[in-house]
Amino acid sequence: MSCELVVEIDGAPLERSRADVVAVPIFAGERPLRGTAGRLDWRLCGKLSALVAEERLTGRQGDAVLIATAGGLRARLLLVLGAGARSDFDGRAFEALGRDAARRAVLLHAATLALPVSEDHVPRLGAVVGQAAEALSAEADDSGLRLVLGVDPEEVTRTADLLRRNPPARIPTDIVLRLPVPGERAAAAPRVAEGKAPRGVQPVK
């Protein structure tokens, strides 16, 4: 049985994403939090900073914390993933993060996952989508996933064109891949299973 992976390029701020789950990297030793993590922390009234102070969030690779956003974000769940040192967060590390985020979103039975993409990593999106497809193939039963890749608003069209010209080199045979179509913008209905957290994720309320 095949599963569908639908990819969307979005220029909206991550805090306004309609995704079921928003995933964000956090870097080891980075205090205060910067970039997307810092902005989301502000929207969540310092919840991420509090978890850092309690050493429940360290930024080490492999760390994962699932947070109920309680209305601070449009998405109901925030998945915070340790990414190691920012200086080591290259294209391969971003690919690995994308695979991990997709795997955990599938285990959460989420229909939609939003992931921020920095300008430096846009050229790696084909590989990231391929990693997400691998994760979906390994973990899903008959459900699909919509992967929303967040970029600068002015880069949406260019990024979608780049991804269409440079698709993943390999996709599992049980995955149907839908890349962005010019002018198309679809939304998925939230369907996160209540009370479930993927293996290896610490839920925080």
CA 9 remoteness from chain centre: 12
Q: What percent of the chain has pLDDT over 70?
A: 87
When pLDDT is averaged across residues 73-95 and rounded to a whole number, the result is 94
**pLDDT tens figures, 168-188:** 999 999 999 999 987 555 444
Per-residue burial over 82-121, b if 16 or more Cβ lie within 10 Å, else e, is: bbbebeebeeebbbbbbbbbbbbbbbbbbbbbbbbbeeeb
- Angstrom distance (rounded) from CA 113 to CA 145: 7
- Decide if pLDDT at 159 tops 60: yes
Residue spans of the domains in the chain: they are 3-184
When pLDDT is averaged across residues 3-12 and rounded to a whole number, the result is 95
What pLDDT shows up at residue 69? 94
**pLDDT tens figures, 109-154:** 999 999 999 999 999 999 999 999 999 999 876 779 999 999 999 9
Q: What is the CATH number of domain 3-184?
A: 3.40.220.10
Beta bridge partners of 25: 81
Neighbour tally for 169: CB within 10 Å? 8
pTM: 0.87
23 and 79 Cβ atoms separated by less than 8 Å:
yes
